[in-house]
Structure 1
């Protein structure tokens, strides 16, 4: 078989794999959002460099937890999970510099603490309102001081 036929075969296989990956991402997003409650949520994984370290993803409420999924991953499991009782709202800010390019348009950065570290999430204005409502609400009879960072 001539070399050019090998090259064509390899390119065809790579294109098929790329299309299958794209289809798998669409199916995964549909499966994650089938119960509702998903929204665009970016997470700052590395905060060592100013304006860098953002990872695009999806957020989903699961009872008392907020689950975060990487947008370009095929894993059905969340990459991070935060418990509502451990999160404390510390403020919000607008993206600056490189963050404006790295994040979705019109997203706002929310600064939270989880008892150990400072945490930054970026979400849209509508999702922010829902997130703040979810964060402040709790089932009746909840002990507000339990598991809260002091």
Structure 2
């Protein structure tokens, strides 16, 4: 009987920890999405097949990208506005449509010579292109 109670306590503690982790992820997402200048944005490295869901947020001189399923308060990636070039814009194709949000626009970009793809809604892409184009003079920003 004592072993059964111990195993139930351990199972209950594990369930509580899992629930707490889920609640923290949801609270973090709500805080990120509620800030001004944030939008849903999936990301993948060029050549990779894996999309990572996330939230992007505009800062003055950079775009910060936060992984959706993470507890870290820091961005997973930051893209300097002056080093970010959009080389091509296209609609999501094939299996990509299942991995990103519906009717997403994929912006193929270069950041410091490294390829990255960002998938976002049409409205978010319009804001993204405007943010890049409104860079201070001398940053030579390229938007496809």
Question: Above 0.5 in TM-score?
Answer: yes
Q: Within 2, Cα distance between the matches of 1:88 and 1:74? A: 29
Q: Which stretches in structure 1 are left out of the alignment for 5+ residues?
A: none
* Matches for 1:1-150 after TM superposition, within 5 Å: 1-45=1-45, 47-48=47-48, 52-139=49-136, 142-145=137-140
8 Å contact from structure 1 (residues 46, 54) kept in 2: no
Q: Within 1, Cα distance between the matches of 2:4 and 2:77? A: 46
Q: CA RMSD in A?
A: 2.1
8 Å contact from structure 2 (residues 46, 116) kept in 1: no
Q: Within 1, Cα distance between the matches of 2:93 and 2:3? A: 50
Size of the aligned set, in residue pairs, is 142
8 Å contact from structure 1 (residues 111, 118) kept in 2: yes
SS at match of 2:74: coil
- Is the deviation greater in 3-12 or in 55-64? 3-12
Q: Within 2, Cα distance between the matches of 1:46 and 1:13? A: 41
Q: Which stretches in structure 2 are left out of the alignment for 5+ residues?
A: none
CA distance 1:98–1:61, shift in 2 (3 Å): same
Q: Within 2, Cα distance between the matches of 1:3 and 1:27? A: 36
